[in-house]
Structure 1
Amino acid sequence: MLGVLGGMGPMATVDFMAKVVRNTPAACDQDHIPMVVCSASDIPDRNAALRGEGADPLPAMRDALRRLEAAGATCIAIPCNTAHMWHCALQYATPVLILHIVDAVTFELTARKGDCIGVLGTTSTIEGRLYQERLSYKGLSCRAPDAAGQEEVMRAIRLVKAGQLAEATEILQAQAEALVAAGCSQVVMACTEIPVALASVEGTLRTKLVDATEALARACVRACKTDAASEIAFAA
């Protein structure tokens, strides 16, 4: 059973769940992956905490983790990039596998060694080098917007959380196009609010965008289907 530690934010959690369903090969209800979701929207703001301006979200995330364990989750996904700054601490607290969103993205990247990958995410994700360190193992470098552009990205993320998608889409599309113009072969939508805003983008830019939420959803499908196949083989 897939456990979803969500609520960061709620709209991104729903988007993730829809992508799990869409990426599951299924001919009937029973072919889909059972999911238990904790949309813990009361988890303190991750960016504020990392700036030293807000409460530590780890205790609340651990509480949500316990609820998922009690509900029978056999693997867990966190559809929030910034929350992965606490991935190690959360994984240490549970024997249940917590899939890592950056590993899921790395698995799907089609870039060649030496390519530069654009990263659109929260300031905490960028400054915490969440993507840079893991992608460097694949021989890839990362580029983020400049300071003014990063402020715009953060403004757009807040607009998505407030349900103001049209303005957020315009801002994020401009920032993604700027990264492509600067030489990035692909641009990772490294905040789960961003794919919500850029869902309607078409044309050449669409082919350059890498959806971290979708990558995590596909990783969950692979993990859950592999577990199910192993259980069937063991039973036989």
Structure 2
Amino acid sequence: MLGVLGGMGPMATVDFMAKVVRNTPASCDQDHIRMVVCSAADIPDRTAAILGEGPDPLPALRETLLRLEAAGATRIAIPCNTAHHWHAALQAETPLPILHIVDAVVDQLTGPKDARIGVLATSGTVAARIYQDRLGRRGYACGLPDAAGQDEVTRAIRLVKAGHLSEATEILRREAEALVAAGMQAVVMACTEIPVALATVEGPLRASLIDATEALARACVAACRPEVALAA
């Protein structure tokens, strides 16, 4: 059973769950994987903690993880890119495998190993080098917005959390297009709010976008499908 350590934010958690369902080959209810979800919206802000501007979210993350474990989860997904700064610390707390969102993204990359991959993410994800380091270990170069562009990405993420999707869409479209123009072979939507805002984007840009939420959902389905077969 998949345990979803969610609530960061609530809309992104719902989006992740929908993508798990859509990516599951199923002809009836019983073909879907079982999920237990804790939408722990009270977990302190991850970016603020990384930047030294807010409380440490690790205790709340740990508490939520243990609740999922007690509820019978057999593996864990965290549909929040920035929270993966604490992936190793959380994995040390449980024998359950915690799927890593960046690994899920890298497994879906199809370009040459020396490709330049753009990343749109929170300032916390950028500062913690969650994507830069893990992409680099797999041979990819990582491209990021400049300082002004990163400020705009941050503003757009906040707009999504506040429910102002149309304004966020325009900002994020502009920043994604700038990364493509700078030579990035693909652009990862590396904050779970970003795919929500760019869901309606079509045309050439759509082909360049990689949805980290979708990648994690697919990895979860692949990991959990043997359990569905056993239960059938």
Tell me which residue corresponds to 2:9: 9
Matched, 1:23 2:1: no
1:106-135 deviation line (CA, Å, top 9, x unaligned): 000112122100000011111211111111
User: How far, CA to CA, are the matches of 2:227 and 2:31 in structure 1?
Assistant: 14
Aligned identity (percent) is: 73
User: How far, CA to CA, are the matches of 1:166 and 1:45 in structure 2?
Assistant: 24
Runs of 4+ in 1 over 2 A off after TM superposition: 226-229
1:161 is displaced (CA, Å) by: 0.2
Tell me which residue corresponds to 1:146: 146
Tell me which residue corresponds to 2:72: 72
Tell me which residue corresponds to 2:98: 98
Native 8 Å contact 2:156 2:167 kept in 1 = yes
Comparing 51-60 with 214-223, greater Cα deviation is found at 51-60
Computed over aligned residues only, the root mean square deviation of the Cα atoms, in angstroms, reads 1.2
Tell me which residue corresponds to 1:167: 167
Structure-to-structure mapping, 1:110-121, within 5 angstroms? 110-121=110-121
Tell me which residue corresponds to 2:176: 176
User: How far, CA to CA, are the matches of 2:157 and 2:60 in structure 1?
Assistant: 22
User: How far, CA to CA, are the matches of 1:137 and 1:56 in structure 2?
Assistant: 27
1:184-222 deviation line (CA, Å, top 9, x unaligned): 000000000000000000000000000000000000000
Matched, 1:192 2:192: yes
Tell me which residue corresponds to 1:214: 214
When the two structures are superposed, what TM-score results if normalisation uses the length of structure 2?
0.98
When the two structures are superposed, what TM-score results if normalisation uses the length of structure 1?
0.96
1:124-161 deviation line (CA, Å, top 9, x unaligned): 11121111111112211000000000000000000000
Native 8 Å contact 2:50 2:127 kept in 1 = no
Question: Aligned letter for 1:184?
Answer: M
User: How far, CA to CA, are the matches of 2:226 and 2:105 in structure 1?
Assistant: 19
Native 8 Å contact 2:33 2:228 kept in 1 = no
User: How far, CA to CA, are the matches of 1:135 and 1:203 in structure 2?
Assistant: 26
User: How far, CA to CA, are the matches of 2:130 and 2:64 in structure 1?
Assistant: 22
Tell me which residue corresponds to 1:88: 88
User: How far, CA to CA, are the matches of 1:204 and 1:153 in structure 2?
Assistant: 20
User: How far, CA to CA, are the matches of 2:139 and 2:2 in structure 1?
Assistant: 32
1:145-187 deviation line (CA, Å, top 9, x unaligned): 0000000000000000000000000000000000000000000
Question: Which consecutive unaligned segments of at least 5 residues does structure 2 have?
Answer: none
Count residues in correspondence: 232
Question: Aligned letter for 2:5?
Answer: L
Structure-to-structure mapping, 1:31-70, within 5 angstroms? 31-70=31-70
Question: Which consecutive unaligned segments of at least 5 residues does structure 1 have?
Answer: none
